[in-house]
Amino acid sequence: MSPSHQPIHLIESQALRNILIKQHKIDRLERDMILVDVREPSEIENGGKIQGAVNIPYGLSKTNPALFRAVLNDLDKERWTIFQCRSGRRSDFTALEALNLGFTRVSDLKGGALEWEALGFPLQKFNNNHSPWVHSIATNNSNTSHIITDLVTKEAIIVNPSLETGVGVDPMATANKILAFVAEHQLNVKLILDSQNFNSAAYYLNESLDTHPPVGLDSVARENKENLTWKLGQHIDCSAYVTSDTTTFMFGDCLFIDQTISTNNVVLSIDTRIYARDVALKRGAVKKPTKEYLANGDALLIPGTY
């Protein structure tokens, strides 16, 4: 990493705790701040993590610096980002790198998880909720395609690959961006999930990718005897719950809700609310998603939710 001379703001554990409590009370999904835990996955498995933190392992900066920077670049650079590790050293280095990448407001948790625990603040027990890498590509028709990746194995899932629309527009422009991204980072796409039907580039990607990944959940159901749970790579536990109007996915600690029927007046089905509530109660997150999170038929995807 190239050094930066800009000083890093240190935030005390008590101050972070107050912010997290306030966010949880106001709205668990609407966050002005994002907390990034840069410890290794094994550390989180053994000791848990601060609830709501997204994990980007600092070790990746040594083994694959370009990939590490790419993952950081997919965070919202305008949002206040607080980095945290065990004692503060790795998070300080990562905060410096974030500033070099153009982040506007960066802090480092003073003393890291050690000081947090010493003050008696809770750590969320590991519950098969590792963080995937989420890369999103927006289209010109207000849709967004996502690539969900296990950073350890580089196995990936493509979610809702959209066609571009409009006069003189290449309908496969977004799909070709996906192909370029997969090639650049040497990802191994295992599955394509799609709910758009008529506006989808799923089968184009299926034919274009060397792995020819299956499209839809049928292959998952066959492999898992109709139980829609599976593992992406080594670390990312995935699950799906489908109703007539909404599909809810969990990719590790990342919640994804998508409509199969587009409408401006979104009201999630009771079944989906019950599912989201049950998952949330198990993992200590929101009680239910609400219609405000799905504006104009757009999908909701929030890393670090659980």
Pairing of strands 155-159, 188-193: parallel
**Structural domain spans, the chain:** 9-118, 133-302
pLDDT of residue 26: 64
Q: What are phi and psi of 301, to 5 degrees?
A: -140, 115
Name which CATH class applies to 9-118: alpha beta
Residue 90 has pLDDT above 80, yes or no: yes
How remote is the C-alpha of 306 from its chain's centroid? 10
Residue 282 has pLDDT above 70, yes or no: no
CA Rg value for the chain:
19
pTM of the entire predicted model? 0.82
Q: Is 242 helix (H, G, I), strand (E, B) or coil?
A: strand
pLDDT of residue 275: 43
The region that residue 85 occupies, defined by phi over 0 for left and psi between -120 and 50 for alpha, beta otherwise, is beta
Residue type, 6: Q
State whether CATH 3.10.290.10 applies to domain 133-302. Answer: no
The first and second tokens of residue 135, run together, are 């890369």
Residue 299 has pLDDT above 60, yes or no: no
How high does pLDDT run on average in the chain?
80
